[in-house]
């Protein structure tokens, strides 16, 4: 048992935001809590994605829900048609094992020949040839077996990744947005990768490493049952040591994983807050929370290893010491005349072959524990309830938006309490209200990022659940304060709004959205790669590219999470002009933070504590809604003071 392997595999996954301290693994707790955070499904059937050719049906995943009882079996069920490769790989491994026993047998025969004073050189040469042939069979079969299982494993992990990526398109978009991208990436890339070596080796090698000693033991029994039994004396003693090592395994494991999680969390915090830490002149060692977490993690490891040490040393010393019993007993039987020297030598040689493969097989237990945690995380994502969506487009009647008694909860807490609302086509509607009142949640429900827990959200008379995602996406553009830009060229980032749009179309919307000048001033113009999340651009520039993208998409409904970030007046004016062009002739829903910008809206919806407090024009609300009047006053005062 290699404590180090097991624990490092599991604690590393606690790392959030992609700051990975260890190469693989994660605790299932994280995955479970993520899944728990998603809203309840409302029970209607889910539009299943087209299965990939050769994929196993979804039921295979169903079987694996929760903590998989047998993660390897679950992974193999995901391997689809490649399962036959694994079967072939095991068969080759078994043939290889048979070949690997041959040299032992040949050596035994040759020693017997020496003892019998056989002077025929061809006899020894023949057995040498047989030993070499056995070894050759072993090498060829072993290589073919691992090659096949590696190929099957690469195909399997590619299927797992595609299954995960596919799943993300079917879960509520809010789930993806709310889950730290580092965490999802960590599971899809590093953790899935970490399965590869183990899965590729465990299937053929664990099988063969368990079969070798069994075959050797059976063969020894055919030679002399007494000697076979004597050769096995160290086995149970070794097992007792192993059991001692496994005593309290769960609590040691849990303790160490927890310490690892704490260290990972402290590391993430340390990296995230590095600016503040530097500003206050602290270093890694002086940042107490981090250094304590690191020390606790190391301590938990060392304590566990101390606990295991004596048992591990005992097991390692006793288990392979088969000759301690075989030699004296064999000598005794030979002197007694009940055992011929050749059999004695053969059993002695064979007994040396029992332990190494068994030990190798045991070492896979660590790797299996690691696979278990990774598979649990994968199923944690695959378990996330999917959105109910139709598969074929529905016929809509215009673009009127209707919310009927809409309720919504994040997890257990209801944050939208039975909202009724109608938004007319080509109107401008503003959602206003205190922070946390539910404005963004309402907007996201309309955009279909989340599904309402109950009630209905309809566009053009059709529930968003009865439209395929592509139809809903064609109807709604969601422009947020910080829209994601891909690590691609400006041209491609804008084109994402309408795949297939020509370069000139892209350039035209860039002009309309006020991006053209700054894009042209970039080093490679429209071919400039904007960097991960658009990091090479300013907030205002990213916002304008996002507006250009939405303009190109030209959806009839635009939801705008009004930016408060771009405060410099020049940028603000450009963006406001761009937004004006974006929404011309469209339905605009704006989540308004600066009330002075929405006084001309056709309808202002005041949201408070997940309910609609009031609705009307600016003038009406000033007169009838104290909350609105108060918010407006406060905004104007703050503006004047600025
Ligand atoms: N992903 C989430 N998980 C759990 N709770 C959430 C989540 N997003 C929002 N909430 C909670 O739901 C409530 C409504 O949040 P929402 O973001 O819709 O409010 P808001 O009016 O848009 O706020 P703000 O003006 O500050 O953006 C708040 O209590 C918030 O804490």
Using an 8 Å Cβ cutoff, are 208 and 141 in contact?
Answer: no
Q: List the residue whose alpha carbon is closest to atom 31 of ligand 1.
A: 436
Is residue 517 a contact partner of residue 551, using CB atoms and an 8 Å limit?
no
pLDDT value of residue 230? 94
- Domain assignment of residue 609, yes or no: yes
Q: What is the pLDDT of residue 510?
A: 86
From 38, 10, 22, select the one nearest 450 (Cα to Cα): 38
Which CATH number belongs to the domain containing residue 634 in this structure? 3.40.50.300
**Burial (0-12, 13-18, 19+ Cβ within 10 Å), 449:** buried
Q: Give the pairing type, strands 454-459 and 462-463.
A: antiparallel
Query: Is 520 a member of any domain?
Result: yes
Centre of ligand 1 to C-alpha 326, Å, is: 73
Whether 336 maps to a domain, the answer reads no
122 inside domain: no
- Give the model's pLDDT for residue 640: 60
For 488, which DSSP code? S
Residue 564 lies in a domain: yes
Distance of alpha carbon 146 from alpha carbon 202, whole angstroms: 10
Starting at the earlier edge strand, list the strands of the sheet with 476-479: 476-479, 557-561, 587-591, 428-432, 603-608, 611-616
* H-helix segments, 337-460: 341-351, 355-382, 439-446
Distance 417 CA to ligand 1 centre (A): 13
CA distance 77 to 86: 11
Q: What is the reported pLDDT for 323?
A: 92
Q: What is the pLDDT of residue 539?
A: 74
Q: Is 415 contained in some domain?
A: yes
Distance from first CA to last CA of the chain, Å, rounded?
A: 65
Q: How far is the CA of 477 from the centre of ligand 1 (A)?
A: 20
Q: How high is the pLDDT of residue 404?
A: 94
504 domain residue, yes or no: yes
- Residue 6 confidence (pLDDT): 42
Residues in the chain: 642
The overall longest dimension of the chain from CA atoms, in Å, is 118
The DSSP bridge partners found for residue 616 are 604
> Which atom of ligand 1 is closest in space to residue 444's alpha carbon?
18
Nearest CA to ligand 1 atom 3: 410
| Residues at CB less than 6 angstroms from ligand 1 | 178, 410, 415, 433, 435-441
- pLDDT for 65 equals 44
ipTM above 0.85, yes or no: yes
Residue nearest to atom 14 of ligand 1 (CA): 438
Residue 39 lies in a domain: no
Q: Which H helix or E strand runs over 462?
A: strand 462-463
Residue 416 confidence (pLDDT): 93
Q: Domain range for residue 633?
A: 401-641
CB 80 within 8 A of CB 129: no
- Model-level pTM? 0.61
Number of domains in the chain: 1
Residue ranges of the chain whose pLDDT lies below 70? 1-69, 180-182, 277-287, 366, 481-483, 531-536, 563-575, 638-642
Order the strands of the 413-423 sheet from edge to edge.
Answer: 413-423, 401-410, 454-459, 462-463
- Tell me how far the alpha carbon of residue 205 lies from the centroid of ligand 1, in angstroms: 51
Output the CA 441–ligand 1 centroid distance in Å.
6
User: How is 586-608 classified by DSSP, letter by letter?
Assistant: SEEEEE-SSGGGGTT-SEEEEEE
Return the pLDDT at 280. Answer: 67
State phi, psi for 549 to the nearest 5 degrees: -60, -45
Residues contacting 464, CB < 8 A, separation 6+: 446, 448, 451, 457, 458, 472
């Amino acid at each position: 048992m290699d404590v180090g392997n097991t624990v490092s595999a599991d604690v590393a996954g606690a790392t959030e935001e992609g700051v990975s301290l260890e190469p693989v693994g994660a605790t299932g707790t994280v995955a479970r809590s993520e899944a728990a955070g998603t809203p309840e499904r409302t029970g209607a059937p889910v539009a299943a994605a087209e299965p990939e050719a050769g994929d196993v049906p979804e039921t295979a995943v169903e079987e694996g829900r929760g903590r998989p009882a047998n993660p390897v079996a679950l992974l193999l069920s995901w391997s689809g048609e490649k399962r036959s490769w694994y079967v072939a790989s095991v068969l080759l491994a078994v043939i290889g094992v048979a070949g690997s026993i041959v040299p032992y047998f040949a050596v035994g025969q040759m020693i017997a020949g020496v003892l019998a004073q056989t002077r025929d050189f061809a006899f020894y040469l023949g057995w040498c040839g047989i030993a070499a042939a056995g070894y050759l069979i072993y090498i060829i079969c072993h290589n073919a077996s691992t090659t096949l299982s590696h190929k099957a494993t690469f195909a399997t992990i590619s299927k797992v990744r595609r299954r995960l990526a596919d799943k993300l398109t079917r879960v509520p978009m809010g789930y993806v947005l709310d889950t730290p991208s580092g965490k999802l990436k960590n599971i899809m890339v590093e953790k899935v990768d970490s399965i590869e070596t183990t899965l590729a080796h465990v299937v053929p090698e664990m099988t063969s490493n368990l079969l070798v000693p069994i075959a050797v033991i059976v063969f020894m029994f055919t030679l002399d049952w007494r000697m076979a039994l004597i050769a096995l004396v160290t086995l149970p003693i070794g097992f007792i040591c192993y059991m001692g090592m496994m005593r309290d395994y769960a609590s040691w494991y849990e303790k160490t994983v927890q310490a690892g999680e704490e260290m990972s969390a402290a590391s993430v915090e340390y990296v995230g807050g590095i600016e503040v830490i530097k500003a206050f002149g602290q270093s890694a060692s002086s940042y107490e929370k981090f250094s304590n977490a690191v020390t606790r993690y190391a301590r938990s490891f060392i304590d566990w290893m101390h606990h295991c040490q004596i048992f591990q040393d005992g097991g390692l010393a006793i288990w392979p010491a088969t000759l301690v019993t075989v030699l004296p007993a064999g000598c005794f039987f030979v002197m007694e005349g009940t055992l011929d020297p050749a059999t004695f030598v053969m059993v002695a040689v064979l007994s040396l072959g029992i332990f190494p493969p068994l030990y190798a097989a045991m070492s896979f237990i660590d790797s299996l524990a690691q696979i278990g945690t990774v598979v649990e995380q994968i199923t944690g994502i695959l378990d996330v309830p999917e959105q109910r969506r139709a598969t074929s487009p529905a016929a809509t009647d215009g673009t009127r938006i209707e919310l009927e008694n809409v309720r919504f909860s994040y997890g257990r807490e209801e944050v939208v309490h039975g909202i009724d609302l109608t938004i007319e086509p080509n109107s401008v509607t503003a959602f206003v209200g205190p922070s946390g009142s539910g404005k963004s949640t309402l907007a996201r429900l309309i955009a279909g990022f989340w599904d309402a827990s109950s009630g209905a959200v309809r566009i053009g008379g059709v529930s968003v659940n009865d439209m395929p995602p592509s139809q809903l996406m064609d109807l709604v553009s969601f422009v947020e304060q910080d829209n994601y830009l891909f690590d691609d060229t400006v041209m491609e980032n804008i084109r994402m709004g309408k795949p297939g749009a020509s370069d000139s179309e892209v350039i035209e919307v860039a002009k309309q959205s006020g991006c053209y000048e700054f894009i042209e001033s970039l080093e490679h113009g429209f071919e400039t790669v904007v960097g991960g999340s658009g990091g090479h651009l300013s907030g205002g520039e990213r916002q304008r590219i996002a507006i250009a993208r939405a303009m190109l998409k030209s959806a009839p409904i635009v939801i705008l999470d009004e930016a408060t970030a771009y405060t410099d007046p020049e940028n603000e004016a450009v963006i406001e002009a761009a937004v004006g062009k974006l929404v011309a002739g469209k339905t605009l829903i704006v989540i308004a933070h600066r009330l002075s910008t929405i006084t001309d809206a056709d309808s202002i919806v005041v949201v408070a504590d997940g309910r609609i407090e009031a609705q009307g024009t600016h003038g009406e609300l000033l007169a009838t809604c104290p909350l609105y009047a108060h918010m407006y006053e406060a905004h104007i005062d703050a503006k004047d003071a600025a």
